[in-house]
Structure 1
Amino acid sequence: MGLQELWFILIAVLFLGYFVLEGFDFGVGILMPVLGRGPDTPERDTRRRAVLNTIGPVWDGNEVWLLVAGGAMFAAFPEWYATLFSGFYLPLFLILIALIFRAVAIEFRGKIDDVAWRRRWDVAIVAGSVVPSFLWGVAFANIVRGVAIDADKQVTSTLFDLLNPYALLGGLLTLTVFTLHGAVFLALKTSGGLRTEAVRIARILAPVGLGVGGVFALWTQLAHGRPWTWGAVAVAAAALIGVVSAVYADREGWAFAGTTVAITAVVVLLFGSLFPDVMPTTLADGVGLTIENASSSHYTLVVMTWAAAFLTPVVVLYQGWTYWVFRARISVDQIPPSIGLLPARPGRS
């Protein structure tokens, strides 16, 4: 295996880590108003605070996987990075804005004890979770499908070209599976009424995820897949079937393992279908990007490989230790009461 192949695999692994870890963060953000629904009362706010506390110690660390994936892409395959971020400028810009608003909302939500203040940040948390969940699926589906790249390696596809049926199905898949992943995570991390409600939501979402995932996986395999990626399709289907069975049996640990395996299989299917391309072109006279014509020099890849060999184990061990320290379940009873939610100030809705 050459260094170009190695770094293609490593970038796939980095995005896999991001989707698995940040995926349940997105799901928790999407489900926060569902598990904390009701009138503006201290009890509702306590439920929402408990939901957010399940990801409080880890959500910002999970986002590091995206930063490292983007940095690795920039260093190992600069042509891929340049073409992707210029051609997909608007979707990636929307993802960035959503992630910024979500991060600020999580940190600022509890700074002022005011109904209107928290309500607005709650909207930002939900929007900042829904938008990336959907657009990541749209982006990666388009990467696998191919876009119009001309002879100058410039993407000429418009935003409406990117919103094709296959890409929209990819967006629906990531939105559904991340929400299911978050529901299962909440069932695993909470107790009492919150856990019961999370399990109920997971039971609704699991069959939907199985249906959407099955259609997308078959479409990908038949249109873009390799013979060996049929294995990834089979694993994804088996994992989602296992999730349906596990949530109905109240085995949230197995269900979380199932959603993790399903996300892994879909990432393997996408990157396996893409290889050795990194951005194929749909134009007859265009120039598609491959691991050969998009990579950095051999010396750059060697230096990156040595750096990754030393630093990656440290990062993984530290993040694993973080999850171990904060492994306990959270209940509403453990959330200290706030001073008391104040009514909205005059002139504020």
Structure 2
Amino acid sequence: METIFGLDLPTWWFLVVGGVFTGYAILDGFDLGAGALHLFFKKEESRRIALNAIGPVWDGNEVWLVIGGGALFAGFPVVYATVFSAFYELFMLFLVLLIFRAISIEFRSKEPMAWWRQLWDVSYSVSSIMLALSLGLVLGNIIQGLPIDDQFIYRGTVGDFFNPFSILMAITTLSLFMMHGAIYLVMKTENRLYAKLTVLVKNTTIFFVLMFALSTVYTLLYLPHMVERFKEVPMMFFFPVLTILAVANITRQITKRKYRFAFFSSAFVTAMLMALVAVGLFPNIVLSTIDPQFHIDIHNGSSTDKSLKIMLTFAVIGVPLVGLYTGFVFWTFRGKVKLDETSY
């Protein structure tokens, strides 16, 4: 099997897919978090400012989800087929929620009536909350494992998705995004809205720390397979250590009101949590709860080496370009939000 810098091609694609989905979690995470907090703002001006804080970037952030889906299909078609078949109903709901979130942002300011704007405000907030919960639900089931048979076919029901761990992960994901979004909004606002958001930042951080602790304890007690890799390779222990230090740094920076550093720490925590999942699962991607022999790993679920090598070339070129574009947009629209005639 061909290797690059000591790693085989399926391992490289595992890193690529994980990296792209991590980018999506960081970028669209604060968008969804801002949406989840939207109804906490009572004044029309405050809601417009909150919308315009994410206005220039929210649709670009969703590009990372599209890239992630494409990368998964290119690198691990068996995983793509199994996961999308298993979560078919949930993914259809996810797409509907994405549509409603988008049209809520775009339609809200098209009419001046209060009921019209309130309608789309509720739609925007509810869809953002449901999207965050859906992502957590999927992640929780992937971590815990799915009833996959020897043909990699899902043998469960929709009701099986709603188990204690997946629900816990759904709420934890929502709490992470709410904290991430609150920190982003406080960087983009001033005056009374800024003061209100400083309180929301503290409250959402407490919410996340509590859910993070609960999900960690549950994982250690009931999902031993997620800690096996850390026992086998003690050097991997630095991942959870860095995660805990980053969480502590968020609270430290918030106390000092250094919200830019808190935001970077929040993004880093998101990346580290994704890394912890990746380390815990590797080399598997989808675990079978029917029989460990039915696990889908980076080898039996991947494309051919030739396909992986060709697509890796495109990924090496394309992903950095998207990253540069994303950075350019954030740099262009840096600073506090100012409303004008072009605003939402």
Question: Match for 2:279 among 272, 295, 300?
Answer: 272
- SS of the residue corresponding to residue 285 of structure 2 reads strand
Identify the residue that residue 89 of structure 1 maps to in structure 2.
Answer: 88
Q: How far did residue 85 of structure 1 move?
A: 0.5
Question: Match for 2:339 among 335, 338, 342?
Answer: 335
- SS of the residue corresponding to residue 38 of structure 2 reads helix
Q: How far did residue 271 of structure 1 move?
A: 1.2
Q: Describe how 1:27-176 pairs up with structure 2 within 5 A.
A: 27-34=33-40, 36-37=41-42, 44-176=43-175
Q: Could you tell me which amino acid in structure 2 is paired with residue 231 of structure 1? A: F
Q: Could you tell me which amino acid in structure 2 is paired with residue 96 of structure 1? A: L
Identify the residue that residue 238 of structure 1 maps to in structure 2.
Answer: 245
Q: How far did residue 165 of structure 1 move?
A: 1.1
1:24-64 deviations in Å (ceiling 9; x for gaps): 00011111221x21xxxxxx222111110001000000000
Identify the residue that residue 41 of structure 1 maps to in structure 2.
Answer: none
Residue pair 1:210, 1:237 contacting (<8 A) in 2 also:
no
Is 2:329 aligned against 1:325?
no
Identify the residue that residue 316 of structure 1 maps to in structure 2.
Answer: 323
1:176-195 deviations in Å (ceiling 9; x for gaps): 01001000001111111111
Change (3 A) 1:285 1:213: closer
Identify the residue that residue 20 of structure 1 maps to in structure 2.
Answer: 26
Q: Could you tell me which amino acid in structure 2 is paired with residue 27 of structure 1? A: G
Structure 1: how far apart are the matches of 2:291 and 2:160?
17
TM-score by length of 1: 0.90
Deviates more, 1:120-129 or 1:153-162: 153-162
Residue pair 1:148, 1:156 contacting (<8 A) in 2 also:
yes
Structure 1: how far apart are the matches of 2:64 and 2:318?
13
Deviates more, 1:319-328 or 1:213-222: 213-222
1:195-221 deviations in Å (ceiling 9; x for gaps): 111111111121221121123234435
- SS of the residue corresponding to residue 110 of structure 1 reads helix
Q: What's the RMSD between the two structures over aligned residues?
A: 1.6
Question: Match for 2:306 among 299, 303, 310?
Answer: 299
Q: How far did residue 286 of structure 1 move?
A: 6.3
- Count of residues paired in the alignment: 328
Structure 2: how far apart are the matches of 1:179 and 1:281?
32
Structure 1: how far apart are the matches of 2:185 and 2:292?
50
Q: Could you tell me which amino acid in structure 2 is paired with residue 321 of structure 1? A: F
1:3-42 deviations in Å (ceiling 9; x for gaps): 10001111100110000000000011111221x21xxxxx
Q: How far did residue 285 of structure 1 move?
A: 7.7
Structure 2: how far apart are the matches of 1:112 and 1:144?
44
- SS of the residue corresponding to residue 24 of structure 2 reads helix
Identify the residue that residue 188 of structure 1 maps to in structure 2.
Answer: 187
Structure 2: how far apart are the matches of 1:180 and 1:157?
33
- SS of the residue corresponding to residue 37 of structure 2 reads helix
Unaligned runs of 5+ in 1: 38-43, 339-349
Change (3 A) 1:246 1:285: closer
Question: Match for 2:290 among 270, 283, 290?
Answer: 283
Structure 2: how far apart are the matches of 1:15 and 1:218?
25
TM-score by length of 2: 0.91
Identify the residue that residue 4 of structure 2 maps to in structure 1.
Answer: none
Identity %: 33
Deviates more, 1:114-123 or 1:61-70: 114-123
